Amino acid sequence: MKFTELTSTGIAVGAIIALLAIYAAMATTYASRSTSAEESAMKRTKAISESGYDLRPLSKDRVEELARDLTPEERNILLGKGTEPAFCGRLVDHKEEGVYTCRLCGLPLFSSDAKFKSGSGWPSFYAPFDGDHIRNVEDRSHGMVRTEIQCQRCGSHLGHVFEDGPKPTGLRYCLNSGALTFHAKGEPLPAESRPLKTETAYFAAGCFWGVEDQLQQVPGV
Protein backbone atom coordinates (compact mmCIF):
# COMPACT_ATOMS: atom_id res chain seq x y z
CA MET A 1 0.00 0.00 0.00
CA LYS A 2 1.32 3.44 -0.91
CA PHE A 3 2.05 6.15 1.64
CA THR A 4 -0.72 8.35 0.20
CA GLU A 5 -3.23 5.49 0.64
CA LEU A 6 -2.11 4.93 4.23
CA THR A 7 -2.43 8.63 4.88
CA SER A 8 -5.93 8.78 3.40
CA THR A 9 -6.98 5.71 5.38
CA GLY A 10 -5.61 7.24 8.58
CA ILE A 11 -7.48 10.47 7.97
CA ALA A 12 -10.71 8.58 7.27
CA VAL A 13 -10.40 6.49 10.44
CA GLY A 14 -9.54 9.58 12.45
CA ALA A 15 -12.58 11.39 11.09
CA ILE A 16 -14.84 8.47 11.98
CA ILE A 17 -13.42 8.34 15.52
CA ALA A 18 -13.91 12.07 15.89
CA LEU A 19 -17.51 11.85 14.69
CA LEU A 20 -18.21 9.00 17.10
CA ALA A 21 -16.77 11.04 19.97
CA ILE A 22 -18.94 14.01 19.05
CA TYR A 23 -22.01 11.77 18.78
CA ALA A 24 -21.28 10.24 22.19
CA ALA A 25 -20.89 13.67 23.76
CA MET A 26 -24.15 14.85 22.19
CA ALA A 27 -25.97 11.71 23.37
CA THR A 28 -24.65 12.17 26.91
CA THR A 29 -25.69 15.82 26.94
CA TYR A 30 -29.15 14.98 25.58
CA ALA A 31 -29.64 12.21 28.12
CA SER A 32 -28.54 14.53 30.90
CA ARG A 33 -30.96 17.22 29.77
CA SER A 34 -33.78 14.68 29.38
CA THR A 35 -33.14 13.32 32.85
CA SER A 36 -33.08 16.82 34.28
CA ALA A 37 -36.33 17.64 32.51
CA GLU A 38 -37.96 14.46 33.81
CA GLU A 39 -36.75 15.14 37.34
CA SER A 40 -38.04 18.71 37.14
CA ALA A 41 -41.41 17.48 35.90
CA MET A 42 -41.60 14.94 38.73
CA LYS A 43 -40.75 17.57 41.32
CA ARG A 44 -43.34 19.97 39.94
CA THR A 45 -46.63 19.37 41.76
CA LYS A 46 -49.84 21.10 40.83
CA ALA A 47 -51.05 23.59 43.39
CA ILE A 48 -54.60 23.28 42.08
CA SER A 49 -56.07 20.07 40.64
CA GLU A 50 -57.96 19.81 37.37
CA SER A 51 -61.22 19.68 39.34
CA GLY A 52 -60.30 22.84 41.27
CA TYR A 53 -59.03 21.53 44.62
CA ASP A 54 -56.17 22.95 46.66
CA LEU A 55 -53.28 20.46 46.54
CA ARG A 56 -50.64 22.49 48.34
CA PRO A 57 -48.85 20.13 50.76
CA LEU A 58 -49.83 20.37 54.41
CA SER A 59 -47.14 21.14 56.96
CA LYS A 60 -46.08 18.46 59.46
CA ASP A 61 -47.65 20.51 62.24
CA ARG A 62 -50.96 20.65 60.38
CA VAL A 63 -50.87 16.91 59.72
CA GLU A 64 -50.25 16.21 63.40
CA GLU A 65 -53.05 18.57 64.34
CA LEU A 66 -55.51 16.74 62.08
CA ALA A 67 -54.22 13.36 63.28
CA ARG A 68 -55.42 14.08 66.84
CA ASP A 69 -58.93 13.00 65.81
CA LEU A 70 -57.80 9.64 64.37
CA THR A 71 -58.40 6.33 66.09
CA PRO A 72 -55.28 4.22 66.77
CA GLU A 73 -56.18 1.98 63.79
CA GLU A 74 -56.69 4.94 61.46
CA ARG A 75 -53.41 6.49 62.56
CA ASN A 76 -51.60 3.20 61.94
CA ILE A 77 -53.01 3.07 58.40
CA LEU A 78 -52.67 6.72 57.36
CA LEU A 79 -49.38 7.61 59.04
CA GLY A 80 -47.87 4.18 59.74
CA LYS A 81 -48.63 2.65 56.31
CA GLY A 82 -50.57 -0.15 57.96
CA THR A 83 -53.19 -2.42 56.36
CA GLU A 84 -56.50 -3.39 57.90
CA PRO A 85 -57.51 -7.10 57.89
CA ALA A 86 -59.26 -8.29 54.71
CA PHE A 87 -63.08 -8.29 54.71
CA CYS A 88 -63.12 -6.35 58.00
CA GLY A 89 -63.31 -2.76 56.75
CA ARG A 90 -66.62 -0.91 57.10
CA LEU A 91 -66.61 0.15 53.43
CA VAL A 92 -65.86 -3.19 51.75
CA ASP A 93 -69.50 -3.88 50.81
CA HIS A 94 -70.64 -0.25 50.95
CA LYS A 95 -72.92 0.56 47.99
CA GLU A 96 -74.41 3.98 48.74
CA GLU A 97 -73.89 6.74 46.15
CA GLY A 98 -71.51 9.49 47.09
CA VAL A 99 -67.85 10.46 47.39
CA TYR A 100 -65.01 9.03 49.47
CA THR A 101 -62.61 11.61 50.91
CA CYS A 102 -59.27 11.38 52.70
CA ARG A 103 -59.89 10.58 56.36
CA LEU A 104 -57.12 12.97 57.40
CA CYS A 105 -57.40 16.08 55.22
CA GLY A 106 -60.78 15.69 53.48
CA LEU A 107 -59.56 15.73 49.87
CA PRO A 108 -62.03 13.86 47.58
CA LEU A 109 -60.30 10.67 46.42
CA PHE A 110 -62.87 8.31 44.89
CA SER A 111 -66.47 8.31 43.73
CA SER A 112 -69.03 5.55 44.21
CA ASP A 113 -69.40 5.52 40.40
CA ALA A 114 -65.97 3.86 40.13
CA LYS A 115 -66.40 1.40 43.01
CA PHE A 116 -66.64 -2.31 42.19
CA LYS A 117 -66.63 -5.64 43.99
CA SER A 118 -63.16 -7.12 43.53
CA GLY A 119 -63.39 -9.97 46.03
CA SER A 120 -60.04 -8.89 47.46
CA GLY A 121 -61.45 -7.98 50.88
CA TRP A 122 -60.81 -4.23 50.59
CA PRO A 123 -62.79 -1.36 49.00
CA SER A 124 -61.83 -1.27 45.31
CA PHE A 125 -62.15 1.41 42.63
CA TYR A 126 -61.10 1.43 38.97
CA ALA A 127 -60.44 5.20 38.81
CA PRO A 128 -59.83 8.10 41.23
CA PHE A 129 -62.10 11.12 41.69
CA ASP A 130 -59.32 13.18 40.10
CA GLY A 131 -55.97 11.75 39.01
CA ASP A 132 -54.23 14.80 40.50
CA HIS A 133 -55.48 13.83 43.97
CA ILE A 134 -53.55 10.55 44.07
CA ARG A 135 -49.78 10.16 44.38
CA ASN A 136 -48.12 6.93 43.20
CA VAL A 137 -45.02 5.80 45.10
CA GLU A 138 -42.88 2.70 44.56
CA ASP A 139 -43.17 0.30 47.50
CA ARG A 140 -40.52 -2.40 47.95
CA SER A 141 -41.63 -3.60 51.37
CA HIS A 142 -42.38 -7.26 52.23
CA GLY A 143 -40.10 -8.53 49.46
CA MET A 144 -42.39 -7.20 46.71
CA VAL A 145 -42.47 -4.30 44.28
CA ARG A 146 -45.84 -2.59 44.42
CA THR A 147 -47.28 0.87 43.77
CA GLU A 148 -48.43 2.59 46.92
CA ILE A 149 -51.10 5.28 46.65
CA GLN A 150 -51.04 8.34 48.87
CA CYS A 151 -53.20 11.41 49.29
CA GLN A 152 -51.57 14.14 47.21
CA ARG A 153 -52.36 16.88 49.73
CA CYS A 154 -51.42 15.35 53.09
CA GLY A 155 -49.28 12.37 52.01
CA SER A 156 -51.35 9.84 53.97
CA HIS A 157 -51.09 6.17 53.04
CA LEU A 158 -54.27 4.94 51.33
CA GLY A 159 -53.44 1.51 49.92
CA HIS A 160 -52.03 0.20 46.63
CA VAL A 161 -52.98 0.16 42.95
CA PHE A 162 -52.77 -2.96 40.76
CA GLU A 163 -53.16 -3.62 37.03
CA ASP A 164 -55.88 -6.25 37.33
CA GLY A 165 -58.99 -4.08 37.45
CA PRO A 166 -61.99 -3.83 35.11
CA LYS A 167 -62.42 -1.65 32.04
CA PRO A 168 -62.07 1.13 31.11
CA THR A 169 -58.84 1.65 33.09
CA GLY A 170 -57.80 -1.92 33.89
CA LEU A 171 -56.71 -0.67 37.32
CA ARG A 172 -57.70 -1.72 40.83
CA TYR A 173 -57.18 0.88 43.51
CA CYS A 174 -57.17 -1.21 46.68
CA LEU A 175 -58.05 1.01 49.66
CA ASN A 176 -58.22 0.73 53.42
CA SER A 177 -61.64 1.67 54.80
CA GLY A 178 -59.83 3.43 57.65
CA ALA A 179 -58.22 5.82 55.16
CA LEU A 180 -61.56 7.07 53.85
CA THR A 181 -64.57 9.10 54.97
CA PHE A 182 -67.80 8.66 53.02
CA HIS A 183 -70.19 11.49 52.16
CA ALA A 184 -73.58 10.53 50.70
CA LYS A 185 -74.76 12.06 47.43
CA GLY A 186 -76.59 15.32 48.09
CA GLU A 187 -74.99 15.72 51.50
CA PRO A 188 -73.17 19.06 51.97
CA LEU A 189 -69.42 18.51 51.96
CA PRO A 190 -67.25 20.04 54.70
CA ALA A 191 -65.12 23.02 53.73
CA GLU A 192 -61.94 20.93 53.34
CA SER A 193 -63.71 18.71 50.80
CA ARG A 194 -64.95 21.49 48.53
CA PRO A 195 -63.19 22.92 45.46
CA LEU A 196 -61.76 26.42 45.49
CA LYS A 197 -63.88 29.25 44.19
CA THR A 198 -62.59 30.19 40.74
CA GLU A 199 -63.08 32.91 38.15
CA THR A 200 -62.41 32.98 34.41
CA ALA A 201 -59.97 35.41 32.78
CA TYR A 202 -59.31 35.91 29.07
CA PHE A 203 -55.92 36.86 27.58
CA ALA A 204 -54.86 37.72 24.03
CA ALA A 205 -51.35 37.13 22.70
CA GLY A 206 -49.51 36.74 19.42
CA CYS A 207 -47.87 33.41 20.29
CA PHE A 208 -50.11 31.35 22.55
CA TRP A 209 -47.54 28.55 23.11
CA GLY A 210 -45.24 30.66 25.28
CA VAL A 211 -48.08 32.43 27.07
CA GLU A 212 -49.84 29.12 27.79
CA ASP A 213 -46.65 27.62 29.23
CA GLN A 214 -46.07 30.57 31.55
CA LEU A 215 -49.69 30.82 32.72
CA GLN A 216 -49.93 27.09 33.46
CA GLN A 217 -47.11 27.49 35.97
CA VAL A 218 -49.16 29.98 37.97
CA PRO A 219 -51.09 28.37 40.88
CA GLY A 220 -54.78 28.23 40.10
CA VAL A 221 -54.49 28.36 36.33
Task: List, by residue number, the catalytic residues.
Answer: 174
C-alpha R_g of the chain: 26
Closest C-alpha to 45, from 215, 194, 212, 217: 217
Alpha-carbon distance of 153 to 92, in angstroms, equals 24
Which amino acid appears at position 33 of this protein?
A: R
Residue 217 main-chain phi, psi, to 5 deg: -90, 0
115-129 in b/e form (b: 16+ CB < 10 A) is beebeeebbbbbbbb
Q: Are 166 and 78 in contact (CB under 8 A)?
A: no
Alpha-carbon distance of 127 to 116, in angstroms, equals 10
